[in-house]
């Protein structure tokens, strides 16, 4: 168990700059999830920590020591790969014992550790089997066992569940969460699936284009996204974005006009912006209320999806091609073709400036 600190870490492949000035502190025993769209550098960042790629610039420390130039085996990290990458010619036992044997551990120690790991992961029955005789979930557990057997200080997971089918994925997600509670070791987990990120993480790191967009707990990221990217990435269905204009601002908040809505009185601090500045209003589907309306300032309902416990109403956005979504509990009396106006709950409206940064809450209104 150990903490991990990244200080201005950069990675350059040839002429492409993959990781740009990443600063990050991961505490002892934390479960941290790197999330982002494909190509955002999340896997590269994990591989930098593992030691499979060299760091171009910056400093990486595990515990108290800088490990930039240490090979993986001396960093005390274990890694679970997306394809599991089990040694096909070795039994489950040999797979788990391989690293220990290479570390020249005594025979009894090897046996003890492998058996202990197998007990935790319920692999005792499978120790003599070859990987090809295992199911997907079992292979996944063996891959974790192999990473754990050497008792690494940090466990790394590179999209470990993406090769499993949906139901098994939920089950393994639970097992990983329980494993973290039981072992209490530092874990770093890479995924492109925001549901995995939300459910597993103590701390989510959202990456985009090689930079950290935001670091925070799942609640923070969901309730107070720092950028428009994070707002759109976290949450399903995604947040609705509407173009808006600043009408005025004072110390208690600001007034904003957006198409299809009444003028909004928001608690955000827009004091530094001039009147008329273009902004983006963001509202999550569940915070959108619909009211019947006519005329220019209304939207047409183009589809209604009934999901049993809830209903999604899709609206034609007029500008752009991303449909607006409203989510409410079933039943609904809206139907396709009706025209509606939006009336969001001001407490749950997000406001983004032209640089896609979220406008902060006014200090007074936070206190209140």
Partner 1 sequence: MTSRQLSKHATRIGFWVLVALIVVIAVFPFYYAVKTSFTPSSELFRVELWPSRLDVSNYVQIFSQRSFLQAIFNSILVATSVVFIALLLGITASYALGRVRFRGRSTVLLVILGVSMFPQVAVLSGLFEVIRTLNLYNNPGGLILSYTIFTLPFTVWVLTTFMRQLPMELEEAAIMDGATPWVIITKVFLPLMWPAMATTGLLAFIAAWNEFLFALTFTLTDSQRTVPVAIALLSGGSAYELPWGPIMAASVVVTVPLVILVIIFQRRIVSGLTAGAVKG
Binding residues for partner 1 (CB under 8 A): 50, 52, 71-73, 77-79, 81-83, 85-89, 98-99, 102-103, 146-147, 150
Q: Which is nearer to partner 1, 97 or 207 (CB)?
A: 97
Taking only Cα atoms into account, the Rg of the chain, rounded to an integer number of angstroms, comes to 25
Using CA of residue 281, residue 285, residue 289, residue 295, what is the dihedral sign? positive
Closest distance to partner 1 from the beta carbon of 130 (Å): 12
- CA dist 197 and 205 (Å) reads 9
Closest distance to partner 1 from the beta carbon of 69 (Å): 15
Using CA of residue 164, residue 169, residue 171, residue 175, what is the dihedral sign? positive
Q: Which is nearer to partner 1, 41 or 78 (CB)?
A: 78
Query: Which residue, among 7, 27, 21, has the nearest Cα to 67 in the 3D structure?
Result: 7
Pairing state of beta strands 203-208 and 310-315? unpaired
Query: Which residue, among 65, 48, 50, has the nearest Cα to 10 in the 3D structure?
Result: 48
Q: Enter the tokens of residue 23.
A: 């600063």
Closest distance to partner 1 from the beta carbon of 92 (Å): 14
Q: Which is nearer to partner 1, 72 or 232 (CB)?
A: 72
Closest distance to partner 1 from the beta carbon of 285 (Å): 38
Q: Which is nearer to partner 1, 81 or 334 (CB)?
A: 81
Closest distance to partner 1 from the beta carbon of 10 (Å): 20
Q: Which is nearer to partner 1, 145 or 260 (CB)?
A: 145
- CA dist 240 and 293 (Å) reads 19
Triad 195, 177, 24: Cα angle to 5°:
70
- CA dist 258 and 344 (Å) reads 11
Q: Which is nearer to partner 1, 88 or 308 (CB)?
A: 88
Closest distance to partner 1 from the beta carbon of 147 (Å): 7
């Amino acid at each position: 168990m150990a903490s991990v600190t990244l200080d201005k870490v950069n990675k350059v492949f040839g002429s492409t700059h993959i990781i740009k000035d990443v600063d990050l502190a991961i505490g002892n025993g934390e479960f941290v999830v790197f999330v982002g769209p494909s190509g955002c550098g999340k896997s590269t960042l994990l591989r930098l920590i593992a030691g499979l790629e060299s760091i171009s610039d910056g400093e990486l420390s595990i515990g108290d020591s800088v490990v930039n130039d240490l090979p993986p085996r001396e960093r005390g990290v274990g890694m679970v790969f997306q394809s599991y990458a089990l040694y096909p010619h070795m039994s489950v036992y040999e797979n788990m014992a391989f690293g220990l044997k290479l570390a020249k551990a005594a025979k009894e120690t090897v046996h003890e550790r492998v058996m202990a790991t197998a007990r935790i992961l319920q692999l005792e029955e499978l120790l003599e089997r070859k990987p090809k005789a295992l199911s997907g979930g079992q292979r996944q557990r063996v891959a974790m066992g192999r990473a754990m057997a050497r008792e690494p200080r940090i466990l790394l997971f590179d999209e470990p569940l993406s090769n499993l089918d949906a139901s098994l994925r939920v089950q393994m997600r639970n097992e990983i969460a329980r494993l973290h509670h039981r072992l209490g070791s530092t874990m770093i987990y890479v995924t492109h699936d925001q549901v995995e990120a939300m459910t597993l993480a103590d701390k989510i790191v959202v990456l985009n284009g090689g930079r950290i967009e935001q670091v925070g707990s799942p609640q923070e990221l969901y309730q107070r996204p720092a950028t428009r990217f994070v707002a759109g990435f976290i949450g399903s269905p995604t947040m609705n974005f509407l173009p808006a204009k600043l009408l005025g601002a004072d110390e208690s908040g600001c007034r904003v006009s957006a198409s299809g809505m009444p003028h909004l009185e928001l608690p955000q601090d827009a004091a530094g912006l001039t009147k008329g500045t273009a902004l983006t209003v963001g509202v999550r589907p569940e915070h959108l209320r619909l009211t019947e309306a006519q005329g220019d300032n209304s939207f047409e309902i183009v589809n209604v999806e009934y999901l049993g416990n809830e209903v999604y109403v899709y609206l034609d956005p007029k500008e752009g091609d991303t449909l607006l979504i409203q989510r409410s509990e079933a039943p609904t009396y809206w139907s396709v073709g009706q025209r509606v106006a939006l009336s969001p709950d001001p407490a749950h409206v997000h406001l983004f400036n032209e640089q896609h940064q979220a406008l902060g809450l006014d200090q007074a209104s936070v206190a209140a």
